[in-house]
Structure 1
Amino acid sequence: MISLKQVSFSYEDVPVIKELSYVEQNPVITGLWGRNGVGKTTLMKLIAGHQIPSQGNIEVMGHRPYNNQEAQRHLCYMQEDHPFSDIWTIRDALRFYQYFKPNWNQELAEELLETFKLPQHKKAKKLSTGMKTALQVVIGLASQADVTILDEPTNGLDAGMRKKFYERLLDSYDAFPRLILVSTHQIEELQPLLESIVVVHDGKLLLHEPMEEVRERGIWITGEHDRVNQLIGNQKILDESTIGSVKKVMIDVPFSDEWRELGRSSGISVEKAHLQDYLLQMTDNVQEGVR
């Protein structure tokens, strides 16, 4: 599907992507997560062939994506605030992508227009943020491209529309399995659909693991100071705070019945950390040179 080997990229001699290697061989829905400014957008543009790496090699379905029409037949990249033509209507946008995407599913496109209540004759430039995001989702899913990249596909969508997007994303993937890479800040909502997660930090690949493993990591332990210290032993601490005699720490281990029982027997609170909190603390520790 896609392969990046020792890829680097710089803007005016400022490194943005640094010797990043990433391979995804099978159809999968993957979440792309990272803090603002760590290189996520640049990484997506490199995979999509919008930019050429300063060094290293990128292949999409066996083709280098930059300035390569054959590679583009396998790709659909819907970036945040996608640049549609000012003169296009929604119908015009669909016709344009239908022409260039060989796996295009017009029936699905029509269904998605109904789902997101998009009027076909409305000008793209007059769409609200949420409606424009919905149009990007329609094109991304209806393209059925072998490698589909969706950048912040819930931007401006209300809770009801986000739920519909998640349902249609899963339905589309089940009907036509492919690599769908979703960059999102809504990781808590999206994580039940994800099979893997990619975390980028400071232009490097920090994490690429199955979602079922990552979602279980991170435990909050709260209780009397000495008891907490005794319970956690030499486990890696991602965050800690103390108020009086009460200490609260997050440790980087999978949540399990064993930890729950240890907390119960020690009179200490043991809770699963939210995925977003875990990822934030993990990247904080990278910045501090802990991990």
Structure 2
Amino acid sequence: MKIEVSQLTKQYKNKFALNHVSFTLEEPKIYGLLGRNGAGKTTFMDMLAGNILPTKGDIFVNGEKPFDNRHVQENVCLIKEGNNFKKEWKVKEVIRLYSFFYPKFDQQLAKQLLETYNLNPNAKVKTLSKGMESALGITVGLASKTPVTIFDEPYIGLDAAARKQFYDVMLQEYESEKRMIIFSTHLIDEVSLMFEEVLILQQGELVLQKSAEALRQQTISVTGRQEQVQQFIKNKQLISKKEFMGTMTAYVFADRQEAIEEGMEVESIPTQDLMIQLTEKEREDRHEAIS
């Protein structure tokens, strides 16, 4: 399965939800799609699922456009944070209807997950708590077995134990049958170790796409004497820096071993922290450009 995004743009009056975004995903991986509220993540996921059309640019799934394309849509399952199902449907009706739509739908896995989350098959969606409705969405997403499965904040209302159950089953299913899983969440520290590749959006633009391993190796925090750190970060891609009483800490794309050999204190940057710093830098750069 290959996803190609070329100059993808979605404009609402004077606001760009996505602004000439381009990238390619072509391997079964767990992708982290990250960004602050309003970054364009949900807009992109809706386009990928064939729910909305771009204003400009293109998005292709295995060479086909998703919008109004049954062949693509039955290979892409999008589970949002809420309102995935009609309120009058019963849980068992949701499972039955989605099993008709997705060719590889796993009825046995769906039954197992309903039991795991104590979901009553005869209960109507409108009677479910927020957490139980999220559990139903997770059940459909995992059981769909679609080559592209998208989770957009899928666990609103679930406690930590229920979320862990979801992560465990998702990893088990992914290991047994690889697929593209695109995961968008604000609980980044909780799930970042599962990501194999990370994409970060900010104000409708792609500010980073890297493998998780590259991020762990190449994005570091270095601390040392101000002049020492200033010299080290020269000609390197700086994310942010702060100074305190002659000491400086910098977030930078750099070689870890080089920093260690320079005698500085070196630490990895948590993915959530990196996302915050990168998107803050992007916002500051935009403000300076406008000023």
Give 2:165's aligned amino acid: K
CA distance in 2, matches of 1:63, 1:232: 44
CA separation of 1:115 and 1:222: change in aligned 2, threshold 3 A:
same
Structure-1 residue corresponding to 2:283: 287
Deviation at 1:49, TM superposition (A): 0.7
Q: State whether structure 2 residue 40 is matched by structure 1 residue 39.
A: yes
Deviation at 1:230, TM superposition (A): 4.6
What secondary structure does 2:105 align onto?
Answer: coil
Deviation at 1:130, TM superposition (A): 1.9
Deviation at 1:219, TM superposition (A): 2.5
Deviation at 1:34, TM superposition (A): 0.9
Q: TM-score, normalised by structure 1?
A: 0.89
Give 2:55's aligned amino acid: S
Gaps of 5+ in 1: none
Q: State whether structure 2 residue 272 is matched by structure 1 residue 276.
A: yes
CA separation of 1:8 and 1:229: change in aligned 2, threshold 3 A:
closer
Structure-2 residue corresponding to 1:90: 91
Decide whether the 8 Å contact of 1:61 with 1:74 is kept in 2.
no
Deviation at 1:104, TM superposition (A): 0.3
Q: State whether structure 2 residue 139 is matched by structure 1 residue 138.
A: yes
Decide whether the 8 Å contact of 2:220 with 2:252 is kept in 1.
yes
Q: What is the CA deviation profile of residues 57-92 of structure 1, one whole-angstrom value per residue up to 9, with x for unaligned ones?
A: 222233221112222111211112133212112212
Give 1:71's aligned amino acid: V
CA distance in 1, matches of 2:50, 2:85: 18
Give 2:260's aligned amino acid: R
Give 1:27's aligned amino acid: P
Please identify, of 124-133 and 47-56, the stretch whose mean Cα deviation from structure 2 is larger.
124-133
CA separation of 1:228 and 1:54: change in aligned 2, threshold 3 A:
closer
Q: What is the CA deviation profile of residues 29-57 of structure 1, one whole-angstrom value per residue up to 9, with x for unaligned ones?
A: 11100111011111111111110111222
Q: State whether structure 2 residue 260 is matched by structure 1 residue 260.
A: yes
Decide whether the 8 Å contact of 2:207 with 2:278 is kept in 1.
no
Deviation at 1:236, TM superposition (A): 3.9
What secondary structure does 1:85 align onto?
Answer: coil
CA separation of 1:84 and 1:285: change in aligned 2, threshold 3 A:
same
Decide whether the 8 Å contact of 2:5 with 2:60 is kept in 1.
yes
Percent of aligned positions that are identical: 36
Q: TM-score, normalised by structure 2?
A: 0.89
CA separation of 1:242 and 1:210: change in aligned 2, threshold 3 A:
closer
Decide whether the 8 Å contact of 2:239 with 2:281 is kept in 1.
yes
CA distance in 2, matches of 1:225, 1:21: 38
What secondary structure does 2:54 align onto?
Answer: coil
Structure-2 residue corresponding to 1:194: 195
Deviation at 1:223, TM superposition (A): 4.0
What secondary structure does 1:170 align onto?
Answer: helix
CA distance in 2, matches of 1:20, 1:230: 34
CA distance in 2, matches of 1:246, 1:221: 11
Q: State whether structure 2 residue 64 is matched by structure 1 residue 68.
A: no
Deviation at 1:142, TM superposition (A): 0.2
Give 2:259's aligned amino acid: W
**Number of residue pairs matched by the alignment:** 286
CA RMSD, 1 decimal:
2.2
CA distance in 2, matches of 1:174, 1:195: 13
